[in-house]
Copies of this chain bind each other. A is one copy, B any other.
Amino acid sequence: MPSPLSIKRTQGVLPGFEARLGTLRTAHGSVETPVFMPVGTQGTVKTLEPRDLRELGVSTILGNTYHLMLRPGAETVAAAGGLHLFMGWNGPILTDSGGFQVFSLGKTRRIRDDGVEFASHVDGRRVFIGPVESMAVQRMLGSDVAMCFDECIPWPCTREYAEKSVAKTLSWAARCAEQPRAPGQLRFGIVQGGVWADLRRRCAEGLVEIGFDGYAVGGVSVGEPEDALLRGVEDGVAALPADRPRYLMGVGDRLQIVEAVARGIDMFDCVTPTRHARNGSAFVRSGSLQVKAGRFARDMRPVEEGCGCYCCRNFSRAYVRHLLNTREILGERLLTIHNIHVYMRFMEELRESIAQGVFDRFRARVRAELRGEAA
């Protein structure tokens, strides 16, 4: 099977790794990479409509299998003709496997050889999900990219547990690969292995042997130190085929995105821009702004000066602060629009810098702006 990713240009800024500019083909259109995918947990990117996403330049969104299988249920989404029709979004959708959420449930879940049994957070009923069930649900959702059901191990974790877990993730990946898929649906394997380079390599090699359309690096950004996070990315990427798309799951810090792109990652998702917005935090070029702060009470400047988003073109910090402080839904919505705009603009600039062969300068500028280093 040919790779769904066409790589248009690369630029190496770190020994052994290359930043890549590409196009990912999916059943619902092409995606320019590196791409950031906003998270639409329950069939909506919180506070936004599909027309907002389009206007903001969002190409791809993520849906959560765990949440959607519990509410409204995969059968309901299938009855609507799939998640695209159900939520009115006709662009590409990637669904996660549900693994990350069920493993996060702690005491209420029980890991078996064939999957995980857990208590639904909605009504407490016992539910089982494993590779077969996850693939079936993702098939019913009709996503463009389905993720393998894997075990996301916590940090810290013993080497012994990580070894067993990688074996389980690989055997589950093999089960996933046998399952039927929705028309045109791509399937990605997930590299686990915690902080051990050889386990990451073993996992990646095992997945490549099974053969997937693309590969994700999972189990990073789970509490480990930042250098371990980037080592996890390097260990995963080093063992993956260069022609296939690479997706770093759950990472949304802009500095980390740039560093991961420098190491050859093509795709990102994170709740950061949307969740922070709802908590009153606006991303700006140099970091973030706590808009609820008292010092903005009569600040008639936009959230970010020079920003072209609907929020900044029309409203002041004072107004947005007022909306947040009075718990008006519009406040959360306006900051979500702003934050997604900031992320989309950031990714556009990042892609443009690779296209122009100046990714090294972009990386230096971002580090200077966000970390305060000399550019």
Contact = CB atoms under 8 A, between A and B. Distances in A.
A300 interface: yes
A49 interface: yes
A47 B330 contact: yes
A318 B72 contact: yes
Interface in A306-333: 310, 314-316, 318-319, 321-323, 325-326, 328-330, 332-333
A255 interface: no
Given A72-B322, A87-B319, A314-B50, A79 B300 contact: yes
Copies of this chain in the oligomer: 2
A354 B183 CA distance: 55
A318 B86 contact: yes
A297 B79 CA distance: 10
A365 interface: no
Contact of A80 (B44, B47, B310, B319): B319
Nearest to A321: B72
A88 interface: yes
Interface residues of A, number: 38
A49 B52 CA distance: 12
B329 A329 contact: yes
A298 B74 CA distance: 11
A23 interface: no
Contacts of A44: 323, 328, 330
Interface string A210-245: 000000000000000000000000000000000000
A80 B328 CA distance: 19
Contacts of A323: 42-44
A46 interface: yes
Nearest to A78: B298
Contact of A46 (B300, B310, B328, B334): B328
A333 B49 CA distance: 9
A80 B316 contact: yes
Interface in A81-125: 86-88
Contacts of A314: 50, 88
A80 B225 CA distance: 45
A318 B44 CA distance: 14
A86 B79 CA distance: 45
Given A71-B325, A87-B319, 17 more contacts: A43-B322, A43-B328, A44-B330, A47-B330, A48-B330, A49-B330, A50-B314, A67-B326, A72-B318, A72-B325, A76-B318, A79-B298, A79-B318, A80-B318, A86-B316, A88-B314, A88-B319
